[in-house]
Amino acid sequence: MSGFRIAEAMQESGFTKLAATLAVQALQAEKLIVAVRESSQYSQGEEWIGFKPTPKGAEWLLSNQSGLQLRTTQRQFTPIDEKDIPF
């Protein structure tokens, strides 16, 4: 996953870019993720830096699945009643 996508996902969850930077650095320091050079058909051959779990990181993820949110929550649709419309 690219560093940009990590920061973007964290911001969507309410965190700052600084929080994303600190999280990536902490995970690298614990040797849970490693930076890798990546390229894809979508980047037209240009390389970018991505991050992937190390064997230690993958082991941690597998051991701690019960504490991870593995499914997105579905939003509840609340119907609007005519009484809710102010005009």
What pLDDT is stored for residue 86 in this prediction?
65
For residue 15, pLDDT beyond 80: yes
Examine residue 83 and state whether it is found in any structural domain, yes or no: no
In a domain? residue 71: no
Long-range contacts of 57-63 (CB under 8 A, 24+ apart): 57/27, 57/31, 57/32, 57/33, 60/32
Chain-wide mean pLDDT for the chain?
A: 86
Q: Which domain holds residue 15?
A: 3-66
What is the pLDDT, as a whole number, of residue 69?
Answer: 80
Q: Which residue has the higher pLDDT, 81 or 59?
A: 59
Question: Does a structural domain hold residue 54?
Answer: yes
Question: Can you tell me the distance from the alpha carbon of 75 to that of 72, in angstroms, rounded to the nearest whole number?
Answer: 9
17 lies in some domain: yes
> Does some domain include residue 9?
yes
User: Per the structure, how many domains does the chain have?
Assistant: 1
Q: pLDDT tens-digit profile of 35-77?
A: 999 887 776 778 888 999 999 999 999 999 988 888 877 766 6
Would 55 be classed as within a structural domain? yes
Q: Is there a domain that residue 10 lies in?
A: yes
